[in-house]
Structure 1
Amino acid sequence: METATWVRDGLRAIAGGVFAAGLAVTNLPLLVMSVVALALTPVPFLGLALLPWATNLVRMRANLERRLAARAGIAIARPYEPPPPRALPGGWKRFRWIATDPATWRDLAWLLPGAIVGLALGLLAVAIPLYGMEGISLLPLWLYLSIDSYGYGVFWPIANFSEAMLSMPQGVLFLALGLGAAPWLLEVNAQFAKLFLAPTKAAELRLRVAQLTVTRADTVDAQAAELRRIERDLHDGAQARLVSLGMTIGLAEEMIERDPARARKLLTEAREASGTALLELRNLVRGIHPPVLAERGLDGAVRALALSLPLRVTVEMDLPGRPETPVESAAYFATAEALANVVRHSRARHVQIYVQHVDDLLLLTVSDDGVGGADAARGTGLRGIARRLAAFDGTMSVSSPPGGPTVVSMELPCVLSSPKTSPSSGTG
């Protein structure tokens, strides 16, 4: 690790130690408030409202600890069960939801030990480098204050100038030790918090079931919408043209003896209409599963998609094989929707597409040099991508500060088959 990076990480960890120690102090009033709320639970109306209110504050504090742990490199998932429908504040449903959630009691059990450990480790992360700074600055202070005797370091009294000179290398040593130990101390604090705040196996199973329920509902809704779109396209497009084609041919049959010229003209129109209907059917089939995807795989399909865009697109592929067909189709359409958003909203001049497979994950990144400001919470296109990926346990994240660049990152769990000899890259 470079010295600059090591120092920067150490300074960030020291600041995190100050923050952790300050947060740890808030655990004690939250604990007292929660105990009072539990004691007042039998009181009509007041107990139903007070415990959920206190628990909400405790959960906010626990979520802050989870965010602090994430910065230390320790991911702690939120274990809370989703609220029941129509759970009014102060009502029995909301109270029962809070009281029967095991995560509520694990949060409460963490408050006191979390306060002790967080305060101790946070202060230690700050105290060691501060002690080092004291040693570095001790010599001029000792000369300025004219102190007869002073102790620093490990059993190191300072009574003269030569002894004061030796405080500086000790201070540098303590400062280096503090910068190196601070990230480790925060990681230890995060690991301790994870013992209480992470979901249990049973909670993970419940959360997984809830996630799959939501994902299944979204998938069913998306499939129903897709079927309605196909039905509408068939009814308004190819079906209408085929009906018109049949009428034109029937009219030509009636006129073929009375007016052969007119009949030939109608047959010409019928031939043109059949070509148009065939083109619409091909486009419809391409929207369901593009032939280029089946023939050339994700690599060729994405490159063909890039060639159709009215801007410069760079495509880089690192796929040693092909994903399963459903995953490949989801990845293709997610990439297509991301590119459509770029064309519609970003005002970009250059787009980069990077696809790779790492640790049984298909990673797709679409970045552009546009104006930025993309928000998955507001854009239906990005929400559609997230729903499509969620059906395969995939995830999507968006980084799009005002002014750009915009980076859409997608992950899909999958395994590959039919390994290739080497990755490919190019520009579309």
Structure 2
Amino acid sequence: METQRTEIQARARDMVVSGARGLALAVVGMAGSVTLFVLATVSLALIPAGVGIVTTPWVLTAVRAFANARRIVAAQWSGIRIPAAYRPVPEGATPWARCRLMLGDPATRRDLVWLPFDMTVGFVTAMLPAALVLYPVEGFALALGLWRVFTDGSYVGWWYGFVPVSGQGTALLAGALAAVLLVGGYRLSPLLLRVHFRITRAVLAPGHGELAERVRVLTETRRDAVDTSAAELRRIERDLHDGAQARLVAMGMDLGTVEALIEKDPARAKELLAQARKSSADALTELRDLVRGIHPPVLAERGLGDAVRALALRLPLVSEVSVELAGRADAPVESAAYFALSEVLTNAVKHSGADRVWVDLHHADGMLRLAVTDNGKGGARIDAGTGLAGVERRLGTFDGVLAVSSPAGGPTMVTMEIPCALS
């Protein structure tokens, strides 16, 4: 008996809590959805005038925050998880780049579709559990005599649902209907709140089309990674064949000649020995450069920060490096970040005409961020054949993004982001 009473009390408490939560969702959701929908509509309409390029990223950020708040509430109140699949926007990107990247994100477009949905269907489904808790109060009040405020008994002065209240008899019918609604709320309010969040998830969660696009992108980046690896292996083979291997063969031939001349022509033998020693030193240097190109020892031993500092020291430009890393990323991520940064710095040396470069490397919010800024002539583009397209493909293998801000006359800022955790 005690167990049954406890269960009834718990279900009654769940009903009241669900009703209160539904009312809060309806009120806050309506206000937030309407406000953000109006702001988004106006901001998007102002893009051709240029004003919307600045305002749209801020408005879309607010829309994302509002949708994420609903995701958190859905998980906490009903245990329904709504995945957020936003593409990262590089820190320091220009307003135009931020606007383009955010509007091109399918997750952002789903948020914009969800806003009018939330202010209509979402409002109704959120109000249902609240109505099943609050509306019976009116029916009981009518049955207890409140009906006299609305009628003098000669005409229908009030309707409760489908019951016309004109006297005490019909007021009791209204009370009976309220009891039925209260029983319905007792059984259905938590379920109806879950229905609201399930419908919200159907709109906000990634669809099959986006998952298919995701699979296509992953397949493409994996193919690029395999092609890049194969090209790198061919380069290593070519460098070994044309460089160190050729020098070692020549050194062997010189040593064979020295062996034949050491008694007949000692002077000539000494010259060949000196030449062989020089060839061995050159071969060793080439092998070290080759190994450094495959995976720099400083990267493996000291981590990405020190490897970037060592890379900057070899530049023919004045460089400033800022590193803020609380740990180390996985080795493949460090390697991708190092060689991507190396390619960007090489571009700055070859094409920018700059005499100074700034490198910033830090980790925040689950993102490894690398920024390279130079004071060159600008005009860099990803599709200009300067190696930035290869950097973008390299980062894409790890779900990373690349943003380039390079107006004519400079400065040029290249920002790279890779999602990762630090050990």
Q: TM-score by structure 1 length? A: 0.54
2:398 maps to: 392
Query: Would you say 1:17 and 2:42 are equivalent positions?
Result: yes
In the alignment, what sits opposite 1:279? Answer: 285
For 1:147-162, list aligned pairs within 5 A: none
Q: Determine if the alignment matches structure 1 residue 269 to structure 2 residue 275.
A: yes
The share of aligned pairs that are identical, in percent, is: 54
The residue aligned with 1:359 is 365
The amino acid that maps onto 1:217 is R
Moved more, 282-291 or 379-388: 379-388
Between 255-264 and 395-404, report the one with greater CA deviation. Answer: 255-264
Distance 1:18 1:341, change over 3 A: closer
> Deviation string for 1:311-364 (max 9, x for gaps)?
221111110011111111111111111111111111122211111111221111
Corresponding letter in the other structure for 1:262? R
Q: Structure 2: where are the runs of 5+ without partners?
A: 1-34, 65-83, 87-105, 121-199
Pair 21,356 (structure 1): closer, same or farther in 2 beyond 3 Å: closer
Question: Is the contact made by 1:337 and 1:381 (CA closer than 8 Å) also made in structure 2?
Answer: yes
Q: Quote the RMSD (CA, aligned, Å).
A: 3.6
CA 1:200–1:324 in 2, change beyond 3 Å: closer, same or farther?
A: closer
> What amino acid sits opposite 1:72 in the alignment?
L
Write the deviation string for residues 399-422 of structure 1: whole angstroms up to 9, x where unpaired: 1111112111111122212xxxxx
Q: Which residue of 1 aligns with 2:353?
A: 347
Describe the superposition over 1:339-391 as per-residue Cα deviations: whole angstroms up to 9, x where unpaired.
11111111122211111111221111111121111000113410111111112
Which structure's CA Rg is the greater one? 2
Read off the aligned partner of 1:401 and give its amino acid letter: P
Please, which of 205, 212, 215 is the counterpart of residue 206 of structure 1? 212
Matched-pair contact (CA < 8 Å) for 1:315–1:353 = yes
Task: For residue 315 of structure 1, give the secondary structure of its aligned residue in structure 2.
Answer: strand
**Per-residue CA distance 1:122-174 (angstroms, 9 max, x = gap):** xxxxxxxxxxxxxxxxxxxxxxxxxxxxxxxxxxxxxxxxxxxxxxxxxxxxx
1:69-93 per-residue CA deviation (whole Å, 9 max, x = no partner) reads: 8853246989xxxxxxxxxxxxxxx
Alignment-derived partner of residue 60 in structure 2: 72
Unaligned segments of structure 1, at least 5 residues: 1-9, 24-63, 79-102, 118-193, 418-428
In the aligned structure 2, how far is the partner of 1:69 from the partner of 1:196?
25
Q: Give the superposition deviation at 1:392.
A: 1.5
Q: What's the counterpart of residue 39 of structure 1?
A: none
Q: Is the 8 A contact 1:399 1:406 kept in 2?
A: yes
TM-score norm. by structure 2 comes to 0.55
Inter-partner Cα distance in structure 2 for 1:378 and 1:277: 36
CA distance in 2, matches of 1:309, 1:342: 10
1:361-380 superposed matches below 5 A: 361-380=367-386
Q: Does 1:320 align with 2:320?
A: no
Instruction: Give, in whole Å, the separation in 2 of the partners of 1:242 and 1:227.
Output: 21
How far did residue 200 of structure 1 move? Answer: 3.2
Amino acid at match of 1:17: V
Count of residues in Structure 1 that have an aligned counterpart in Structure 2: 259
**The one of 212, 230, 251 aligned to 2:257:** 251
Contact persistence 1:319–1:357 (CA under 8 A): yes
Tell me: CA distance 1:290–1:19, structure 2 relative to 1, closer, same or farther (3 Å).
closer
